[in-house]
Amino acid sequence: MAILSVNAGSSTLKFSIHPLQDGAVQPAVMTGNIQGLEPGGTPDMRWTLDGRTQQRTLSAGSDAFAAALDGLRSLLAAEAAVPDIEAVAHRVVHGGRSFRSSVQVDDEVLAKLERLNSLAPLHQPHNIDGIRAFRAAFPGLPQIACFDTAFHADLPEVASRFALPRALHDEGVRRYGFHGLSYQYIMGTLLDRSPRARGRVLMAHLGNGASLCAAHEGRSQATTMGFSALDGLMMGTRSGTLDAGVLLYLMERGWNHDRLQTLLYKQSGLLGVSGLSADMRRLRADGSDAAQEAIALFTYRVVREAGAMAACLGGVDLIAFSGGIGEHDAALRADVCAALGWMGVQLDEARNAQAVGDDIVRIDAEGSAVELWVIPTDEGRVAAQAAAALLAAH
């Protein structure tokens, strides 16, 4: 048996299949991605099995997502090496106050999750649409929602509060934190490899979405993202932390909710500052002043927030980089580590240059006061583990 782990976005569907062995979830035997799921798009499915990557263009018809699920269902039936699927684990960004751990989805759960759409508009509606589509396409399988907020569910009270009236806090206006599936995987990987992982750990999930998490004894103590997935670090197209007075100023000038939401989620960050792209790789290749300014600001914000996380922990014993940028951008890691030299961080330049994101690599120099790691994340496996645990408990 196996767990099918999926992450449904606005135009893509990522999937991985994780066998169960003696109740334990194993690394994926198949991974894949279906692109072109936007209205009018042509689904393109690519998957890797036994070291071979294959591609198939699907006939979309009127519903690209339905065509994608038909293609996925046919693929699973045709591949003899793929175990039977026992359940589908869905990455869901926001669990709010109601969901502190994974849950089997029913109509009541979906209704509660839909109320959180405005807190993660780039992700939550598509996560929920994905669950609905999989329920229809795989009616006999349990659908399990696994939450990015769950890893931070036990944040200390002082770390989860905003300085707002108590009534708003009691309604759920508080810091939740995100990227929890990634942080859970990173933390578990570190605990298997380093005694320092039980100490003061700073994890950096740096990609199109970006955040930092401070952990101690394997548990989240502070994180840069808050009530929504907008707070904290500058991101690909999101602003990160912003003076609320800017929003009041724009509202006075006539900006409405939808225009502000588009600005903050889709037109800011690396894209907004550079005017070129949200892709760090393209900005690195571009020699313009605007591109370099965007990179410098991204780096500065990581360093600034890393200092805040270190203060919350009273120091740092280990730093781990992950996410698309954290795993692949050696220059970013070098610049961040240089700026954190005051903490005793010393980078091994050769190891750092060789860490390309496919393997777990330790990159600190001999004598560094802080261990440095590059950990390619695996959110799909964590979601599969959560789904398997939930099924076993029931």
Question: Distance (Å, rounded) from C-alpha 356 to C-alpha 342?
Answer: 26
Instruction: List, in order, residues 6 or more apart from 239 with CB less than 8 Å away.
Output: 230, 263, 264, 268, 269, 272
For 211-247, the three-class secondary structure string (H helix, E strand, C coil) is EEEEEECCEEEEECCCCCCCCCCCCCCCCCCCCHHHH
| Res. 365: pLDDT tops 80 | yes
* C-beta separation of 82 from 29 below 8 A: yes
Instruction: Tell me the C-alpha distance between 48 and 359, whole Å.
Output: 17
What's the confidence (pLDDT) of residue 112? 95
Residue 266 counted as an annotated binding residue: no
pLDDT at position 327, please? Answer: 97
Q: Do residues 225 and 231 touch, judged by C-beta distance below 8 A?
A: yes
pLDDT computed for residue 157 by the predictor: 95
Domain ranges of the chain: 2-147, 195-379
Q: Is 325 annotated as a binding residue?
A: yes
What is the C-alpha to C-alpha distance for residues 148 and 110, in angstroms, rounded to an integer? 16
What gap in Å lies between CA 377 and CA 184, rounded to an integer? Answer: 9
Q: At residue 207, what is the residue type?
A: G
The answer regarding whether domain 2-147 maps to CATH 3.30.420.40 reads yes
Q: Residue 163 is encoded by which pair of tokens?
A: 């300085």
**Nearest in space to 7 (alpha carbons), one of 122, 118, 130:** 130
Closest CA to 266 of 124, 122, 159: 122
Is 7 a known ligand-binding residue? Answer: yes
Gap between the Cα atoms of 180 and 258, Å rounded = 28
DSSP lists the bridge partners of residue 347 as 364
Candidate from 83-92, 181-190, 220-229, 356-365 with smallest mean pLDDT: 356-365
One-letter amino acid for residue 134 of the chain: F
pLDDT over threshold 80, residue 62? no
Range among 17-21, 117-121, 268-272 with highest mean pLDDT value = 268-272
* Whether pLDDT at 60 is above 80: no
Q: What is the mean pLDDT of residues 339-361?
A: 94
| Beta carbons of 238 and 257 less than 8 angstroms apart | no
**Is 205 annotated as ligand-binding?**
yes
User: Is 206 marked as a binding-site residue?
Assistant: yes
377 pLDDT more than 90: yes
Instruction: Write out pLDDT tens, residues 283-302.
Output: 999 989 999 999 999 999 99
Structure tokens at 78: 């045709």
Do the Cβ atoms of 44 and 57 come closer than 8 Å?
yes
And the tokens for 225? 């993202």
Q: Residue 59 above 90 pLDDT?
A: no
Between 119 and 18, name the one with better pLDDT: 18
Cβ partners under 8 Å of residue 154, min gap 6: 219, 220
Domain spanning 195-379: CATH superfamily: ATPase, nucleotide binding domain (3.30.420.40)
C-alpha span between 148 and 127 (Å, rounded): 12
pLDDT over threshold 90, residue 85: yes
For residue 357, is pLDDT > 80?
A: no
- Residue 351 pLDDT: 97
Q: What is the pLDDT of residue 66?
A: 87
**What pLDDT is attached to residue 263?**
98
State yes or no: 170 annotated in a binding site: no
Catalytic residue among 107, 129, 148, 329: 148
Whether 14 has a binding-site annotation, put simply, is yes
**What pLDDT, on the 0 to 100 scale, is given for residue 202?**
98
Residue 16: its pLDDT value, please? 97
Q: Is 289 a catalytic residue?
A: no
